[in-house]
Amino acid sequence: MKKIFLLAFSAVIALGILCSVDFTSLAVQSENKPKTQFEGTDTYYSFDASTKTLTISGEGATPDFDSDNKSQPWYMWRSDGSIQHVIVEEGITSLGKYFFYYVSAEDFLLPSTLTSLGNYSMSGVNSLKSITLPQNLTTIGNYAFYYSTTLESVSIPSSVTSIGTSAFENCSSLNSVSFEDLNASLTIGKRAFFACSSLKSITVPKRATLSSYSLGFYSASKGSVYKEFVMNVYRDSPAYTYAVNNIVNYNIINEMEIKEGQSIACTYYANSFDDDMIFVFTPTVSSEYRFYSSGMVDVDCVLTDSNGKELASHDDNSPDDLGFTVDYNLNAGKTYYYTVKSIRSTGEFTVNLYSKEIESIELDIPAELSCDDNKDGKFDILSLIEGREITVIHKTGYTKKISFTNNMQCFDMTVSYTDDQDDEEWLCGEHAYTISVGEYSKDFTVIINHSYTATIIPPTLTEEGYTEYTCVFCSDRYKADFVKRTGVLVSGKVLLMESPDGSHPHNLPIVNAVISLDGENITQTDINGEFEFYAVSDSSELRIFSDFAVDRVFEFAYDENMEMNLGDISFFHLDYNEDGYVNAKDFALLRGIYGEYPKEVYDDFITVDYNQDGTIDYEDFKYAKNFFTYGKITESIYD
């Protein structure tokens, strides 16, 4: 009896060592742990003692811990009930080795950003019954759930491509393993589900590759399998070969859920061409769908509803392609069955399903080109699109990305490019080209930008300079880079002075007064007494004069604003008899209009219609009273 007790006690101790049970951890963690960074990473942990929640946050991959696990910050209280809940926040992409090793939490919330579970990352988690693996997870590492003896069920997302060695080995309570996509391509490693005594059956994806002892075994040394274990397999799958070679019980299945956009490869062998293959589809959006096959296996198809009512059927597309095509309007939420049957033909074929109704096409290429890109007057837009990613968006919301090649096939639809350059010349500006997918077409815009040569036009005295740009392709022109003209515009108005103080209340213009700049006559006043001219910056003296007045002289100051208005300039101009006085005697000379003076005098001297009635006559004399009649005319009057 004593010997039996010792053996039993030794077994318990051995099991404790094997399972790394921490006998030193006796005190429950009762204090909060503040947010703390894992060294060398952008990830953190914190602990809320009141809710018994361990939270992992940050960005990227968490660190790896050592196999002795003492590097875990929660090592001393991981298995004593301190941690009941684990939350891994969005942003974490990978859980490192031994990360949650033997953490006895009841539930783990994993983020959608998680793509990898590291080796031993959740091994020995013995309070967890089920776990939801995120849809972006691709890798379940070696020993990831090893000896997680309370785990009862797990669903493998369609994104998973690898289940590592011994990933679920010795998960003794595991009784349900499901794969979200039975057409998934993934590798199931050695002993991945070894010694899972509660796992009685499993349906294996059609394209899953299995390794030695992956499923059904409880002893590798003896090659023993569970007698009650059954594999559900497709006849043309690696799992079927695994079951046959390892003498594992199996059932042949011929039904598979198919999703929009899927292409599923099938093979008929000599011992299976009488088998039916049934594809089950439940659309979420009502639309016209196409189910079709391609390949050289002679098959036909019958579409039925959930009550078995035949809706449509088809056998051959053409003698060159022994596949079928079935188009039908399917209602959202209803389940339909596509039954495919070989017509006593062997070989490979592919079935496909998609909505025929396309909502849009998206294309990411440069929207602008230079006119220099033309070759012999044409623009090779097609070469820019070749190899680019095109996104085809169906009415149902399904999106397919393809790498474009002109006249390629997307499912059984032709994808092509067209433009109108054969009908019209593309000049600079906006143009459209068309991408077609099957019956759907969409116009895309490309802008052809000008390419200019520059011609410099220098400034002149009166005109500003600029650079003229001319497109080498379409001759479009524009001016820019303006430079100021070299001359400043000078203007003013010369009026008749009516008193020595320079006033000119009647604003009577002086006509034909000469404007001189630095000794050179530039212009004359017009009939309104106005003048304007252009002067250069080194000009210094402006002079105004006539035959019957003392000259007016101004110091010229160049204006950088390029315009100088000198305003009204008063000027005495009526000493016709040249006696040094401006008085009524000068107006007497105007009597030449009555014959006292010859007409040529009139032509030479009478130049102002003072009362502005359109004629020069006696009426103009009355203005004599407005002019000063005393004092000699000298330059001091101007001063």
pLDDT in tens, 316-332: 766 666 788 999 999 99
Q: What percent of the chain has pLDDT over 90?
A: 64
pLDDT of 224: 94
Residue 85: both structure tokens together: 């809940």
- What are the C-alpha distances in Å from 60 to residues 67, 87, 157? 22, 15, 21
pLDDT of 619: 65
**For 68-117, what is each residue's pLDDT tens digit?**
767 899 999 999 999 999 999 999 999 999 999 999 999 999 999 999 99
Residue 533 contacts residue 515 (beta carbons within 8 Å): yes
**For 158-185, what is each residue's pLDDT tens digit?**
999 999 999 999 999 999 999 999 999 9
**Sign for the pseudo-dihedral over CA of 526, 531, 532, 537:** positive
Residue 39: both structure tokens together: 């060294």
**For 412-450, what is each residue's pLDDT tens digit?**
899 999 999 999 999 999 999 999 999 999 999 999 999
Quote the Cα angle for 117-129-239, to 5°: 60
Distance CA 456, CA 428 (A): 23
Burial class (CB in 10 A: 0-12, 13-18, 19+), 342: buried
Residue 505: both structure tokens together: 């209340």
Taking alpha carbons only, the member of 434, 439, 432, 359 closest to residue 392 is: 359
Q: Which of the four pLDDT bands, split at 50, 70 and 90, describes residue 535?
A: confident
| Mean pLDDT score across all residues of the chain | 87
pLDDT of 499: 78
- Confidence (pTM): 0.68
Residue 450 contacts residue 424 (beta carbons within 8 Å): no
pLDDT of 15: 43
AA letter at 216: G
Highest mean pLDDT out of 71-75, 547-551, 602-606 = 71-75
**DSSP letter (8 states) at residue 511:** P
pLDDT of 498: 79
Cβ count near 570 (within 10 Å): 21
Tally of helices (H runs) and strands (E runs) in the chain: 5, 46
Distance CA 94, CA 89 (A): 11
* pLDDT of 582 above 80: no
